[in-house]
Structure 1
């Protein structure tokens, strides 16, 4: 038994067990009479505006131009890029530089950047959600390289938070991305690239 298992064992010994039916009933009883969405139209425009407001680079292309755009953006920042094992190959089919599919953790710090998909996006908040499925890779891939290019398909953008959450599996490790990593903890001066990528580019394929 490792330390984590021992801690969980002790917690289980303190906390009374709750039948699954009680948990489900409690969840069902939550009042959800709130407004589900604030916008009906212009969802993609709003999403692009909010993402750009976070100082991310936003690029909009038709789906047919996605591969060309990815190749262009990677050529603008030459180097070796990591991609998840499940990223559709057609998305990077025009890239002429070096790609490492499914890089191991030890190689991440030497990458110029990473290219991933996403699980969902939220127009109201300009947030992109990763659930680290096959097209997104492990969390470290989206945090260690200095440049992160995220591909967002138009039908992945939800108008607001409630509808986005309904598309996600709460048992997956979810990462919410709102712009490049930044902090203002020290003397209230904004510093980017502290907890994740300094450069975030979002390609919206419509």
Structure 2
């Protein structure tokens, strides 16, 4: 008996003990997963996101719509950025305070051309507080997936509280599985066999997240 025969025999044996109706073509299995973990206010959820982003070595800033252009301009100036890649659907007012050359997100751009860009500025689709994760889905204010994987510095704006959820199960219904999703938990990093951490291996070395507060409702 070959190894293949042994493996297939074990698969058949395992399938033979599946309860009736739960196999292929049977009714769906009930999955009563918890979507919400614990009880938090919106403010506490945003604070948890900021805390977990910082744990992943992302740099977190907070501002409102009025202060956003000035903050973006200051952060780019502090890095000495001369060029910033922006998605076509990004709010033009966000870069009004930046003395930089704006680079368009083009399908024809090569990896080498993207590598010459100093920074990239995007929005996001949703942010997960419990894991400190940002999800980008290539929406108009996020651009093509590769623009956030090649440049060394990524500035990501998260609208709070609208784009912030507590858990992964709460985030999944907000994104489409057929879109090019990028899940970001801190700057790109890896460790070798001696556990020496190296950042910027397969993505930006520096991730800065701006939590953009919603304007207060007129009362």
Q: TM-score, normalised by structure 1?
A: 0.83
Q: How many residues align?
A: 182
> Aligned partners of 1:35 and 1:165: how far apart in 2?
10
| Partner SS, residue 64 of structure 1 | coil
Q: CA deviation at 1:35?
A: 4.5
Counterpart of 1:203 in structure 2 is: 210
Counterpart of 1:9 in structure 2 is: none
1:180 counterpart = 2:184: no
Q: TM-score, normalised by structure 2?
A: 0.78
Q: Which structure has the bigger radius of gyration?
A: 2
| Partner SS, residue 105 of structure 1 | coil
Stretches of structure 2 lacking an aligned partner (at least 5 in a row): 1-23, 214-219
Equivalent positions of 1:48-127 (< 5 A) are 48-77=50-79, 78-103=81-106, 104-106=108-110, 107-127=113-133
Deviating 4+ runs (over 4 angstroms):
none
Structure ranking higher in helix proportion: 1
CA contact (8 A) 2:85 2:102 kept: yes
| Partner SS, residue 38 of structure 2 | coil
Counterpart of 2:217 in structure 1 is: none
Q: 1:53 to 1:122 in 2, by over 3 A?
A: same
Q: Which residue of 171, 185, 198 corresponds with 1:191?
A: 198
Q: CA deviation at 1:36?
A: 2.1
Q: 1:90 to 1:158 in 2, by over 3 A?
A: same
> Aligned partners of 2:35 and 2:208: how far apart in 1?
30
> Aligned partners of 1:132 and 1:51: how far apart in 2?
21
Q: Which residue of 138, 146, 154 corresponds with 2:152?
A: 146
